[in-house]
A = this chain, B = another copy of it.
Amino acid sequence: MATKPQPRSGKPGRPLWSGRFREPVDERVKRFSASVGFDRRLAQHDILASLAHARMLAATGIITRRDLRAIERGMQQIRREIQGGRFPWSIDAEDVHLNIERRLTGLVGEAGKRLHTARSRNDQVATDLRLWLRDEIDAVDGLLVKLLRALVSQAERHAALAMPGFTHLQVAQPVTFGHHLLAYVAMLERDRERFSEIRKRVNRLPLGAAALAGTSFPIQRERVARELGFDGLAENSLDAVSDRDFAIEFCAAAALAMVHLSRLGEEIVLWSSPRFGFVRLPDAFCTGSSIMPQKKNPDVAELVRGKSARVTGSLVSLLMLMKGQPLAYNKDNQEDKEPLFDAVDTLKDCLAVCAGMVAGLAPVARAMRAALDEGHATATDLADYLVRKGVAFRDAHEAVARAVREAERKGTDLARLPLATLRRFSAKIGADVKRALTTQGSLEARNHAGGTAPAQVRKAAAAARKRLS
């Protein structure tokens, strides 16, 4: 009986690999282990990679030119069916790869059955995922640039606008609003740098590793790599099919970028609280309350802050997923996709809304000024003044601290103490002290690379703008 081939695995509802199985897969198990529900997102990249594979197979004589043309024709149609929402996705075919392969064989017959020569789903899925992620990294970079531009524009506009700089959420020293926003420029520029480095490692071709050991066919991996725009090979075949570093490092960089956005979100929530009132948010970026008619809530900033948590969660999932797995491919790896997809989507959405929100921020100079007037923000400047008069820094610090105590006692700001009072804490204090105690004087004095002096802020913003073009 076994002498006559019975291609049961080709039958509808039977997996392509089912030749050695006696029982069908349990229905519940089929649903549990199918990935087509989420990996169909890779369909266009799967087709791209299959076409490059087929062309290489034809170029090396592993399949015929005629087979190649049939495959190209079939894939053309499949691509259209998918784009048009008419593709017959089926959970019976488990994943995006087998769905497309089965449809191809349905459309073009024998040639379709030859496509899977010299490859395996193990190297195929790794190839698809890398191709897809490479494109997404480029999209992320575009969104980072957009947000950076919004920040730099605001920084240029408000290069000299004084606001209190905080440490420990206590008023520390005056800074400019532009200087403050440029801190986020620094963070996001590091993010861009990281993503561009990761892109190099994402952009390596695993195809040709086959199941885990390479293949007995005379393949040309470099040719496929070239056609698909890869920078090189994920060479070692065992590593190529088991490696998910690229997904993990993307998620790590995304988690860090989201932490940056979470800090921006926190600050916008603070600044738009009536207790601060430092910025006004456009109505278009706020929502109201179903019960409290007066509310105008900075929902977008809060959501961005909150969403940082889910990307760290995805990162943890991936690290824990890969921990302790023996080589080479294990089914666990199928769990790599959803966290990665979610991290990409979350990061892109947040970057996009932040760009709009930052562009719409309207700082309220009056509120910033009022806050500066209550925090002894120029106390350090007074200490520096004394140092320039010859007092050792530690002694100067001590003298000013006592002056601050006196100002607190009187319920006023250090800058508003009369000269006579100030001189009680150090005889070195002269009439020229007043310049040091003004916000303007304080800002302008910090005139070195990275300092908050408006001239430096303009210079830094110009340099950032140049890097963005």
Q: Kindly list 12 other residue pairs between chains A and B, CB separation below 8 angstroms, not including A20-B404, A313-B313.
A: A17-B397, A33-B287, A167-B297, A167-B328, A179-B236, A211-B292, A216-B436, A220-B448, A291-B380, A294-B414, A305-B332, A313-B314
A445 to chain B, nearest CB (A): 4
Separation of A287 and B167 alpha carbons in the complex (Å): 12
Cβ–Cβ < 8 Å partners of A18 in chain B: 288, 401
Q: Does any Cβ of B come within 8 Å of A361's Cβ?
A: no
Show 16 A/B contacts (Cβ-Cβ < 8 Å), sorted by A: A9-B394, A9-B397, A19-B398, A24-B283, A25-B286, A29-B356, A113-B393, A165-B212, A167-B289, A169-B326, A173-B212, A216-B384, A233-B449, A236-B450, A312-B323, A313-B315
A326 to chain B, nearest CB (A): 5
A325 to chain B, nearest CB (A): 6
Cβ–Cβ < 8 Å partners of A110 in chain B: 392
Cβ–Cβ < 8 Å partners of A141 in chain B: none
Q: Does any Cβ of B come within 8 Å of A238's Cβ?
A: yes
Q: Which residue of B lies closest to A176 (CB)?
A: B213
Q: Does any Cβ of B come within 8 Å of A242's Cβ?
A: yes
Q: Would you give the 0/1 interface string for A396-415, flagging 1 where the beta carbon is closer than 8 Å to chain B? A: 01111111111010000010
Query: Are B303 and A321 in contact, with the CB atoms below 8 A?
Result: no
Q: Does any Cβ of B come within 8 Å of A369's Cβ?
A: no
Query: Are B201 and A402 in contact, with the CB atoms below 8 A?
Result: no
Separation of A122 and B167 alpha carbons in the complex (Å): 10
Give this chain's copy count.
4
Separation of A120 and B234 alpha carbons in the complex (Å): 47
* Residue in B220, B236, B321, B400 whose CB lies within 8 Å of A460: B236
Q: Does any Cβ of B come within 8 Å of A23's Cβ?
A: yes
Q: How large is the interface on A (under 10, 10 to 19, 20 to 34, 35 or more residues)?
A: 35 or more
Separation of A320 and B262 alpha carbons in the complex (Å): 11
Query: Are A20 and B168 in contact, with the CB atoms below 8 A?
Result: no
Q: Would you give the 0/1 interface string for A53-68, flagging 1 where the beta carbon is closer than 8 Å to chain B? A: 0000000000000000
Query: Are A353 and B29 in contact, with the CB atoms below 8 A?
Result: yes
* Residue in B28, B273, B286, B393 whose CB lies within 8 Å of A116: B393
Query: Are B119 and A291 in contact, with the CB atoms below 8 A?
Result: yes
* Residue in B5, B19, B273 whose CB lies within 8 Å of A170: B273
Given contacts A169-B270, A263-B326, A309-B335, are A26 and B314 in contact (CB under 8 A)?
Answer: no
Q: Would you give the 0/1 interface string for A445-468, flagging 1 where the beta carbon is closer than 8 Å to chain B? A: 111111111001000100000000
Query: Are B121 and A292 in contact, with the CB atoms below 8 A?
Result: no
Query: Are A449 and B235 in contact, with the CB atoms below 8 A?
Result: yes
Q: Does any Cβ of B come within 8 Å of A48's Cβ?
A: no
